[in-house]
Structure formats: C-alpha cells, structure tokens
Structure 1
Amino acid sequence: MRNLHTLSAALLSLLLWVLPPQTRASASPAQALKQDLTQLLAAQQLAGAVYSTVRDGAMETDSVGYFHAGQQRPMPVDAKINLGSVTKTLLSLAVLRLVSEGRLSLDAPVETLLPGLRFENAWANSSPVRLRHLLDHTAGLEDLRLWHMFSAKTSPDQSLALALQRDASVLRLRSEPGRVCSYSNLGYTLAAMVLESVVKERYENWADRELLAPLGMHDSSFGFVSQEPGTAGFDPRLAWGHQGDLSTVASMAVAVRPAGQFTSTAADMGRLMQFLLGSGELAGTRFIRPELMAAMGQASTSDAARAGLLMGYGLGLSTRDRHGAVGLCHAGSVIGYRAMMCVYREQQRAFFIALNSDSETADYGRFDASLIAHLGLSRPAPAGHAAKNATLAAWQGRYVLAPNRFEAASLVDRLFNSWTVDEQDDGSVRLTIASRVPVLLWPTGARLARQEDRLQASHAMTLDAAGRQVLSDGYRSARQIGTWEFVGLWASAAAGTLGLVYWLLRLLLLALKKLTRTPYAGPNRLLPLSAAALACAALLLPLPLFLAQPWLAIGDPGPATWSVYLATLALPGLMLAQAVLSGCQRQAADLLAALALLQACALLAAWGLLPLVLWH
C-alpha cells in the first residue's frame, strides 16, 4: 500500500508540474497554494495535511493528501488532528485567563501554589521557580524522561502528579531559574497542576469549557481522543497518524499530556489565530488582559533576552525568524503528527498547518515557507557586511549545550552536538553545530549577532554566574568548553568503544575457531576470557528482548529494560575481573582492552548512565 500511495502521489505531482503555464498562472491564490502543498506532500512522501490562513480577519481552510494513506482515504477539510506541542499555546492561554481574572499571579513561586511540591533548587533563596518561568521554559527543568512518553502503563485519566512520582530527580534544577531557556514538557505539566489547584477540577474539563468554548473552538479538546473504535475518546474524525514508512499509528496517552495532548481542526485553529492577532477581547469584552497578550512570544526571563535578543520563548509562543518573516509561532511534534502555527500581528496575517505524518527525513520547513509566501510575508535578509568586531571575535571556540534538553542524553550531546565558532576575514564568524552546514553570523551590536539568512539578531553572547562565555539563540544556550576537556571526553569514549569492539571481535574469532576446530595460537581455554565473554553476552541479550516487546513499553520495567540494567550494573565488575585474569595470563592486548572498557564505565557512571535504568 505504501508503494501505491507513493506512486499516486508522484503521478499527481507530475500532473501538476506539466499543467500548461497559463493554467497554473490563472489558478487562484488558494488553488496555487493547494497545488504547491500537494506537490510538497508527494516530494516529502507524507500522508496528508489540513491548513488554515488568516488575512486581515478573513479565514480560509483546506486540506490535501490522505486521512489514512493505506486506505487512500482523502483528508477532509474538517478532519481533526493531533497538534503535539502547539498544546502549550492553548494551555498558556488558559493560565493567562486565570491571571486576567485575578486568580493567579505569574510571579508567584510555584512551591507556594503547589505546597506539596519541592524543587531541588540550589538557588532557592534568591531565585525560586515562578509560574512565569514554567511558561517561558526558564525554570531550569529538564524536558522529560523516556517513560513520560513511552510507557504502556500510562492512562489518559491518571493524575498529573504521576509524572513526578516515579523519580523525584525530575524536579532537580540544572540552571538557575530565570537565566537560561531550555524547552521543558515537565514545566507545562506543572503549569497544568497549578491550574488544577486553582479551579479544583481536571484542567481538560475546565479549559474545554472556559477557554475553548468562548473562543468558538467547539471541535477542539484537551481531552484524549483516539482513532480506534471501542477505546476511550474514540472519534472517527481524527486523522490517523503515520510514521516515516507511512504505516499508521494511533493516538497514545503520555504522562506529560498538558504539554502535548490537544486535538483540533483547521477552522478552529483559524479562530484561535484570529484571537491571537487581537488584543485579548471577545465580542467587545476583555477576555485576556492586553498586556498579557502583548507579552506572548516576547522572551523576558533569560540572560539572552536581557542582552537584547528578541528571539526566544514567552508565555506559550516563540518569536521565530524564518523564511523571510518574523512572527509568533509554535511547532508541534508527537508520534505520527507534525504541526506549525504562526501569527504575524503587524501584518495581521497567520497560518496553521498540521500533517498526519511524522518523518525524520522530511523537510517540514518547506511547508512553512510556502504558506509564508502565499501570505505575502517573505522578504530578503539584509546583506551581511560588517567591520571586524572584537567582541564577536572573542566568541571563537567550542561550546556545549548548557543545559541540554534531555538529562540522560547529556554525554551524547556533549560529544556529538557541540558548537564551534571560527572568526572569518570578512568580519563574520562561522557557526557550526554538530555536522550541520555551517552558517555565518554578522555582528549587530555589542553582544548580538545575526545569522546570514535571518532578518534580525539571532544570537546573543552572555556570561554565566561563573563568568564563562555562553552563546544563545534564544531557545538553547551553549557554554564555552576548553579544548583539552573536550578532547579528554572524546578520548575516553573512543577508548571504551574500541575496547568493547576488541572484545566482541576477540570472542567471535575464538568461537569461530572452536567451531571450525582451527588450531588456536593463543590460550586454548575459555577461562581467561570468561569475564569478558559474560559481559559481552549480557550486553547483547537485551537486543532480541527489545524486538520482542511493544515499542510503547520501552520506558517500563520489563525483561528488556531489566536486562539492560543488570548488564550495565555487572559490567564494571566483570571487566575488572577480566583485567586481573588477562594480567595473570600476561595478555597485554587483552589487559589494555579491559582497562579501556573499565575507564569508559567510570565515564558513564560519572554522567549517571551506569547502571542504565531506562524506567527512571
């Protein structure tokens, strides 16, 4: 069925391409947009999409592609779709509604609003976590854990507090509140808990009634909605999600649902955008205070914002500079779906698009660019001419995310997602993030710089509390790291990897020689290699166990995850024993490989990855 879909999409794309030029030229703007989006779906091998635009108050909606790719069901214009993290904009509006009613304060410490909650906050005396920090992603919290998204034990009706109770360390702050923006689904889960503490009912029920209904969003809900008949929340209008191979995927419950559980239609999202383009009034009555509406998308609680950088996140929206237009946007991504909403208040225009395909290889930005061009918003970036800037030149060096989004991936990000800054002869600096294409930054102020394809300053240079240089794009911050520290980490990781590969190959060759009865030049007994053999077998055992279990349960205790825990728990002891055995046998290569793997165990333990507990 996937091949049939791909073939039909390709034929449709070809048909649109070979239309006579006068036919394409005579198409209305709405028809031309639909043709362009249809071609993009085919080129990116995605299933379908619903979309809406607002121009000077007038809304248009449409759809392209398939509701269910395998069944070749066309996407209805009024189809419902999961929006992922666009949910945060709606939840923030719900909180701002309470603030507008005088029932909440954005500057209230969260621990006073949730008396049973305690953050592990090293800066508690001077910098408590405030409600505003949760909505700005500047509380210092990590994003989420594996089990928050992938757990068969999660129920759509479970208490929000369960997102915190499996492991109390999720409340450990990794940066001082109000200093650094770091995206956190946990932060918005806490914000929903604050809302529930005020309204004394489930946030879904209150927000559906008190926020969505007044906005006229009657086809939308914070509640769980499913495509599967017989399940709670079944709705036949909900489009099926699709993975990268166009196989279907149904909605799934997650522990951090206030951050990503919301279903809507193109028309309802058009009504939301009409409201966001205004000053907070509904039918001539103030619904949300105008100063709160104006603050949405305006970063204010980070060092980068205080340095003058306009890019960043504020109260449920982010200021986004892409494709020749600066607007207030929110993206959404959940298994099977992608979405984007952007409003441009100055031009009184907006767009929303949601695709029922979640592909790691598709370029979703091309859909945004098409909608921006359709709305007539795109303009060229200014030329990047500048004299050499001493401050900008001082940015040279290597940077590492501080903090990164996922605590468990800190070491991986440190090794593979570092940033490098190099001075250029033309007054710019070249920024390279991991293996991506480098970009040029041009100075726009004392501590600000603009990426070559952006319209305004895109990066800020600040100092952390220890006086170290920090480079920020408003959404992420990276701290400068010494060359030898970075090289040392890489050397340790590389040595451990080589040690593991050595032992796997060593034992494989020994097994092959024994099976073929080939004379073995080395020790002919397995005993000197017993510890390494046991360690390698323990590390390989989880692979078939993971294949045998549902992928949804990867964050739960079970045979696969327990085997990972036990294997990584035993690994240091086994390799220490192997080092002793190899030393006694005077096998220098074996001894070096065992020591290399042993020191890598120390590295992993230092970063909290040994033993590896996937359900925490």
Structure 2
Amino acid sequence: MQLNTAFSSKSLRALAAGTGLLALLAVTACGPENSATAAQSDRPEVRQALETVVQAGFPGAQAVITTAAGEWIVNAGVGDTASGAPIPDNAHVRIGSNTKSFVATVVLQLVAEGKVELDAPVERYLPGLVRGNGNDGSRVTVRQLLQHTSGLPDYLASGDPSRPADPNSQQIKADPEAIRGRHYSPAEMIRIAMTMPPQFEPGTRSIYTNTNYILLGMLIDRVTGRPAAAEITTRIIEPLGLRDTYFPAPGDNGLRAPYPRGYQEIDGTRIDFTDFDPSWADAAGAMIATGSDLNRFFLALLDGKLLPAAQLEQMRQTVPFDRMPSAGYGLGLVVQTTSCGKQTVAHGGSIPGFDTRTGVTADGVAVTMTVNELPTNKERAEVVERAFDSVVCAS
C-alpha cells in the first residue's frame, strides 16, 4: 500500500530541523454550516485517536472526514516544529501510493474504451521493456500489474524490516543524500528492476511492488500518446474539480501553499524532508493533494462517476494483501475491515515526510488521515494504523 523507505546516514544529522515537539491541539469544523457538522467536529473519539499519534512521538496528524452532512477537520500536534503552527486546513501533502488508485482508474477507463485488455500481456503495449534475468513481459498481464501478482522485482528498496534489501542490489534506496535532488526517468527505474530476477512466478502470489505501477504509467503514455500525469489531469482531476490535486511537474520539488512541513527520522534525528524531487516515485506515488480532494476522488470513484459498473466491479475484486494480512488488494484499491466491523475501500500511501491513510465506508463516509512524518519501523506504523481505525470507527 505504501512507498516505504528506510534511511541510515549519520552524516545527515547536520541537516536536522528543530526537533522540539509541541502538543498543540486544534479542531476546526468546515464545510456546510449546520448543527450536524458542528456536532461531529466535537466528537472526542477522533481527537483522542489523533492525540495517540502525537503522544507516540509524531509531530502532527490531521483527519478529514467527509459525509453527506458536511466535512470536518481535526488536527493534533504541529505542522511545523519550528513555529509550533498546526497542520493547516486544506493542507497540500504528498499522498504517496494513493497515486496508484488514480493510475489504475485511468487504465480501467482505457479498458472500458477498448484500448487496453486486462488479461493481455504487457509485451503487447510495452514491447521489449520487461525483459532480462528471467523477467518476461509476454508472461505478465496488465491485470497482474494492477493487482501486484506480476512477480516482477521492485526497483525501490522497500525498507520493510521483514524484507531487508540486498546491500548489493541496484535498487533505489531512498537516502536523502542520494535522491533528494536527483531526477529519475521511468525507463531508468525499469532498467534497475530488470537487473534482478522475478520474485515469483506470475499469477501465483501477490507481493506489493512499485515497479508494476511505473509500468502502468508507461503503458498509459504508450496507448494514449500522452504522459500519465496529463491523462490523470484531464480524465479525473478536471472533471471532478479537484483544484488541490496535482502530479508535480519535473523540477517541482516543493508543495503548494498551504502545507505542513514533512519530517523523516534518520539515525534518531528528525529531518525536515518537505522538499525533494519525487520522480523516483512517479506513477507509483508522486502525486500531491489535500485530504478533502482525496475524499472526493474516492467517493466519486466508488459511486461509479469515473468508471462503468463492469470495470468498477473488476477493480474491487481482491487478492490477499501481503502488507496487510487483514486486507485485500484489488486493481489499485485496498479493501479492509476495521475493528468495529466497518469495511473501508480506498488505498493509502507513504512517502518521506508523510503517511496518509484513506478509506470510504459502505454508508458513504470518506476518511483521510495524514501524519507529517513517515513511520520508520513496524511499531510506529501500527500506531498510525490503529489511530486510523479509531477515526473510521468514530466517524
């Protein structure tokens, strides 16, 4: 579900921003001015859930909850450790692997238009690209890319402690010294992936792999003649009026205002990692949005406003998800059940600086929760996941 990263470089401590953590709590109701929204904004369970994240040592957290009655925002902690300012309302944040849902939607629109076949081999659309060290694009289908059952190796070192990266691998390791200002092309990332053998036989397992979505972005480009970012803009962002959602252009290394600072812990020191070149994430996780826009996107998608019923149904059919044993992975969607029995559908994403959890419930409540520091181990990731579960259950 995420672009997970792990850093270790003692020389980076000189880059550290202020590390004081201020337990500032702010609650803001927005959207339609009515009693229902006002009452919801005062729900203590949401506030308490975000406070547990701050108490665990994260700088700040924000929940954006969208319902038929309106929308409200709850903040805990800070969006800037130097000034003590909270995460602003309508904050632009890096949404990481939520990008995959946008990419999958465009691919499925192309399927509906008869321009792509789900069970056709990748070789048909990207001839000669998936080849080498046992990788074979003629044996991997578009569906398998979408659902992470391709078996292809990941160009990106995941940082997952349960699957440590090979130190001799050419995988991109998200070390700030190496990637912060470097630009990667999709073709370069696929060349890196092809230096490694497949992880498993196509279609026999499901292992979350960012290479799959870099290839899907390239497929969109090849089929439409336009970059995936342009197709996402004209097919999704503009029709839905998502004014605060965008795919950063080459060289656009910052965030549009308003935004919180994004932090990363490296060797025990908190680094300000707000600005960097996100090209290494590309179609697997480079997009930027607000919580409100993410909620609107997932609500529209699941309400059938972006896809015909047949393709939406395909999108929701899941296989076991290796990174979340209690969840299933569809074609760019994650389906999971919370501790209170509510099922959510959306995705989620992690990238240096931000961890964003998303979900839409069966009764049409959309939740986006953002933490402005990427968890660096399983225990801290579980703190964020439990808080998101609590927010959904209280919404």
CA drift at 1:58: 4.3
Structure 2 CA distance for aligned equivalents of residues 323 and 343 of structure 1: 15
Percent identity, aligned pairs only, is: 25
State the partner residue of 1:250: 274
Tell me if structure 2 keeps the 8 A contact 1:68–1:248. no
Q: Structure 2, unaligned stretches of length 5 or more?
A: 1-16, 27-37, 158-170
When residues 107 and 121 of structure 1 are mapped into structure 2, their CA distance, relative to the original with a 3 A threshold, is: farther
Q: Quick check: 1:317 aligned with 2:342?
A: no
Structure having the higher Rg: 1
CA drift at 1:162: 1.0
Aligned equivalent of 1:91, options 99, 103, 109:
103
Q: Quick check: 1:238 aligned with 2:238?
A: no
CA drift at 1:102: 2.3
The alignment yields a C-alpha RMSD, in angstroms, of: 3.2
When residues 374 and 254 of structure 1 are mapped into structure 2, their CA distance, relative to the original with a 3 A threshold, is: same
When residues 60 and 105 of structure 1 are mapped into structure 2, their CA distance, relative to the original with a 3 A threshold, is: farther
Aligned pairs for 1:477-488 (under 5 A) are none
Q: Quick check: 1:217 aligned with 2:242?
A: yes
Counterpart code for 1:76: P
Aligned pairs for 1:501-512 (under 5 A) are none
Tell me if structure 2 keeps the 8 A contact 1:53–1:352. yes
CA drift at 1:57: 7.1
Tell me if structure 2 keeps the 8 A contact 1:217–1:268. yes
Tell me if structure 2 keeps the 8 A contact 1:109–1:128. yes
CA drift at 1:207: 1.3
CA drift at 1:365: 1.9
Structure 2 CA distance for aligned equivalents of residues 97 and 162 of structure 1: 27
Tell me if structure 2 keeps the 8 A contact 1:149–1:256. no
When residues 337 and 234 of structure 1 are mapped into structure 2, their CA distance, relative to the original with a 3 A threshold, is: closer
Q: Which has the higher helix share?
A: 1
SS where residue 89 of structure 1 aligns? helix
Aligned equivalent of 1:349, options 365, 370, 389:
365
CA drift at 1:174: 2.7
CA drift at 1:156: 7.3
SS where residue 175 of structure 1 aligns? coil
When residues 140 and 296 of structure 1 are mapped into structure 2, their CA distance, relative to the original with a 3 A threshold, is: same
Structure 2 CA distance for aligned equivalents of residues 4 and 369 of structure 1: 28
SS where residue 28 of structure 1 aligns? helix
Structure 2 CA distance for aligned equivalents of residues 58 and 357 of structure 1: 28
CA drift at 1:110: 0.3
When residues 161 and 225 of structure 1 are mapped into structure 2, their CA distance, relative to the original with a 3 A threshold, is: closer
SS where residue 247 of structure 1 aligns? strand
Tell me if structure 2 keeps the 8 A contact 1:143–1:184. yes
State the partner residue of 2:194: 168
When residues 319 and 3 of structure 1 are mapped into structure 2, their CA distance, relative to the original with a 3 A threshold, is: closer
TM-score relative to the length of structure 2: 0.76
Counterpart code for 2:358: M
CA drift at 1:144: 2.9
How many positions carry a matched residue from both structures? 341
Tell me if structure 1 keeps the 8 A contact 2:146–2:212. yes
CA drift at 1:154: 7.9
Q: Quick check: 1:189 aligned with 2:227?
A: no
Structure 2 CA distance for aligned equivalents of residues 4 and 164 of structure 1: 40
Aligned pairs for 1:391-430 (under 5 A) are none
SS where residue 344 of structure 2 aligns? strand
State the partner residue of 2:389: 369
SS where residue 267 of structure 1 aligns? helix
Aligned pairs for 1:94-113 (under 5 A) are 94-113=106-125
Q: Quick check: 1:32 aligned with 2:43?
A: yes
CA drift at 1:353: 0.9
CA drift at 1:142: 2.4
CA drift at 1:166: 4.1
State the partner residue of 2:310: 291
Aligned pairs for 1:261-300 (under 5 A) are 261-278=286-303, 280-281=304-305, 287-299=306-318
Structure 1 CA distance for aligned equivalents of residues 76 and 287 of structure 2: 21
When residues 133 and 211 of structure 1 are mapped into structure 2, their CA distance, relative to the original with a 3 A threshold, is: same
State the partner residue of 1:542: none
CA drift at 1:74: 2.0
Counterpart code for 1:365: E
Tell me if structure 2 keeps the 8 A contact 1:212–1:218. yes
TM-score relative to the length of structure 1: 0.50
Counterpart code for 2:391: L
Structure 2 CA distance for aligned equivalents of residues 273 and 145 of structure 1: 26
SS where residue 148 of structure 1 aligns? coil
Counterpart code for 1:84: G
With a CA cutoff of 8 Å and minimum separation of 6, indicate the structure with the bigger relative contact order.
2
Aligned equivalent of 2:152, options 141, 166, 172:
141
When residues 167 and 64 of structure 1 are mapped into structure 2, their CA distance, relative to the original with a 3 A threshold, is: closer
Tell me if structure 2 keeps the 8 A contact 1:216–1:271. no
